[in-house]
Amino acid sequence: MSTSLVEQLHGGLDAPICLTWELTYACNLSCVHCLSSSGRRDPRELSTDEAVAVLDELRDLQVFYINIGGGEPMIRRDFFPIVDHAIANGIGVKFSTNGAFIDDEAARRLAAMDYLDIQISLDGTDAPTNDAVRGDGSYDTARRAMDRLAGAGFGPFKISVVVTRHNVDQLDEFQALADSYGAQLRVTRLRPSGRGADSWHELHPTNAQQRQIYQWLLAKGDRVLTGDSFFHLNALGEPLPGLNMCGAGRVVCLIDPIGDVYACPFVIHDQFRAGSVREPGGFTAVWRESELFRSLREPQSAGACASCGSYDACQGGCMAAKFFTGLPLDGPDPECVGGEGELALAGVTSAPRPAMDHTRPGAAPVLFRRK
């Protein structure tokens, strides 16, 4: 890729290439690594009319597609009208779901829609591995949803896996499962965001496993989707497919259920809140004029990583991973493959807490309940 293009992307675009929109904080599950600490609906969530107005703005900005998540987006009673409005306006929809609300009728309805991609979340190829992270019964729920989509002729849906210490050895099995459905596999990086702030230290892959993930992804090439989330591994050698940059506030962002705009889906915290779609000027003004996004589009300091020969390859890794593990933003990623992150983590005494917690009372994450 040409240097000038990379520079332009770092400098930000007039509109995001794609954005993530968490439609609700309500969720039937309580996954231990939930990026948005979801569970209870927030009474301030955007109304249907407000959501439609945001979609009209995104149409005018020519945003090609949005990633819808939550919470569990299908809990919203206006889920289908919102998705229909997006697609009718040329905005493709990719949505993430745990599958609990995909009954036979929903599967048929989804299968009839164009420009719709579905990602079913699954974090283990067997119930014990998956349910330890996502909750009792969630493996069976996800598999049932996959069976229904396949039965309804949806076509190639996606199976979306967050790679952890406990499922990293199942990558080939995940691929086989995806193949058995004619589905596409998507694997993403575990972030210490939301409830993940509490579970990351015991769930994130070890340094040896990071290398295992890199080799596996390299062998798969672009057949496996990653959301470009593993660019910190590029310090190991040949770059993985993708843009190889942090797109936060430059080419991507997050709209949360109450309309707040954050730099990316992994930084729900006041420090990374750029504004709200409810303010005058709407989303467009936030994207183009927020002080935070302007500063993220300035050249970033390599800081402690400046003297490392791998900086150009890994770009210092993920801003969110550093922030929520208490590391400076201009230093190594906590999962730096050179081991610098582990050294830095040893000196951390406190880390920022996620801004909001919608965890349902009593819905203690299973990982901890099992102990």
Partner 1 sequence: MLDRALRLHPQVAVRPEPFGALAYHYGNRRLVFLKHPDMVRVVRSLDEHDTVADTLTACGIDQARWPSFDRALTDLVESEVLVGTDGAP
Task: State the nearest-atom distance from the C-beta of 247 to partner 1, in Å.
Answer: 12
Residue 95 as a binder of partner 1 (CB under 8 A): the answer is no
DSSP 59-70: HHTT--EEEEES
Task: State the nearest-atom distance from the C-beta of 228 to partner 1, in Å.
Answer: 11
Give the CA count within 13 Å in the CB-facing half-sphere of 152. Answer: 20
| Strand-strand pairing, 260-262 and 273-276 | antiparallel
Gap between the Cα atoms of 291 and 336, Å rounded = 29
200 or 293, CB closer to partner 1? 293
Which of positions 1-40 make contact with partner 1 (CB under 8 A)?
1-2, 4-5, 8, 13-15, 17
Residue type, 142: A
Token representation of residue 23: 């439609």
Task: State the nearest-atom distance from the C-beta of 87 to partner 1, in Å.
Answer: 10
14 or 291, CB closer to partner 1? 14
Task: State the nearest-atom distance from the C-beta of 8 to partner 1, in Å.
Answer: 5
Residue 112 as a binder of partner 1 (CB under 8 A): the answer is no
1 or 219, CB closer to partner 1? 1
Contact present, 196 and 33 (Cβ < 8 Å)? yes
Task: State the nearest-atom distance from the C-beta of 154 to partner 1, in Å.
Answer: 15
Token representation of residue 29: 């599950």
Neighbours of 310 (CB within 10 A): 19
DSSP 171-183: HHHHHHHHHHHT-
17 or 52, CB closer to partner 1? 17
Q: What binding mask, one character per residue, do residues 48-87 give for partner 1 by CB under 8 A, x or -?
A: --------------x-xx----------------------
18 or 75, CB closer to partner 1? 18
10 or 33, CB closer to partner 1? 10
Which of positions 115-154 make contact with partner 1 (CB under 8 A)?
115, 117
Residue 208 as a binder of partner 1 (CB under 8 A): the answer is no
CA distance from start to end of the chain: 48
Token representation of residue 150: 């396949």
89 or 215, CB closer to partner 1? 89
Tell me the C-alpha to C-alpha distance, in Å, between residue 341 and each of 40, 104, 324, 325, 331.
Answer: 34, 47, 13, 10, 8
The footprint of partner 1 on this chain (CB under 8 A) covers a number of residues equal to 17
Tell me the C-alpha to C-alpha distance, in Å, between residue 147 and each of 131, 137, 155, 177, 323.
Answer: 18, 16, 11, 12, 39
Residue 101 as a binder of partner 1 (CB under 8 A): the answer is no
Task: State the nearest-atom distance from the C-beta of 119 to partner 1, in Å.
Answer: 13
Which parts of this chain interact with partner 1 (CB under 8 A)?
1-2, 4-5, 8, 13-15, 17, 62, 64-65, 90, 92, 114-115, 117
